[in-house]
Structure 1
Amino acid sequence: MAAAKLTFADVALTVNVPTGTRIIEISEKVGSGITYGCREGECGTCITRILEGQEHLSEPSALEIRVLKDNLAGRNDRLACQCLLLGGDVKVRPG
């Protein structure tokens, strides 16, 4: 299975993960500071700043786009519970 490399800047940790994994799943396992509420992409609690590798993430859904807009998120912000790692190197930090 293909792998992606995910770096959490807040805890200075890089892990290899299978493609198709959501950022929040790995954040929970490694103890990163990304918090979450609903895990369904509706609350906006898990807004995460993508520092590098935005092109290696799944496209945001209409729901994610709406929630990000409602929360005045920046253009490099994504919901950790919604975006999937597609490969490559991605670096994130809590939003």
Structure 2
Amino acid sequence: MARAKLTFQDINLTVNAPVGSRVVELSDKVGSGIAYGCREGDCGTCLMTVVEGMENLSEPSSVEKKLLKENVAGKNDRVACQAQILGDVTVKPA
């Protein structure tokens, strides 16, 4: 299985993640400050800022685009329960 490096800048930790994993799955396991409330893309509490590697995340789904717009997210923000890891990426809580 292909793997990628996911760095949580807020806790200065890098983990090897299976490609296709959602950021929130790993954030929860390692204790990053990326909060979440649902894991389904309904609430928007798991907004995160992508510090490096935006191109290494899946394209935003229509659900994620809606959440980003509703939450007035910045251009480097994504929703952790929706974003899948495709390659090396560094994130932090939004």
TM-score (normalizing by structure 2):
0.98
Q: 1 CA distance for matches of 2:71 and 2:28? A: 23
Q: 1 CA distance for matches of 2:38 and 2:26? A: 16
- Report the counterpart of residue 68 of structure 2 in structure 1: 68
- Report the counterpart of residue 90 of structure 2 in structure 1: 91
Percent identical pairs in the alignment equals 63
SS in 2 for 1:68: helix
TM-score (normalizing by structure 1):
0.97
- Report the counterpart of residue 27 of structure 2 in structure 1: 27
Gaps of 5+ in 1: none
Q: 1 CA distance for matches of 2:75 and 2:15? A: 25
Alignment of 1:23-62 (within 5 A): 23-62=23-62
Q: 1 CA distance for matches of 2:67 and 2:80? A: 12
Q: 2 CA distance for matches of 1:22 and 1:50? A: 14
SS in 1 for 2:21: coil
SS in 2 for 1:40: coil
Q: CA deviation at 1:42?
A: 1.4
Q: CA deviation at 1:39?
A: 1.1
Q: 1 CA distance for matches of 2:63 and 2:26? A: 22
Between the two proteins, the alignment pairs up a number of residues equal to 94
- The one-letter code sitting in structure 2 at the alignment partner of 1:64 is E
Residue 5 in structure 1 maps to residue 5 in structure 2: yes
Task: Please list every run of at least 4 consecutive aligned residues from structure 1 whose deviation after the TM superposition is greater than 3 angstroms.
Answer: none
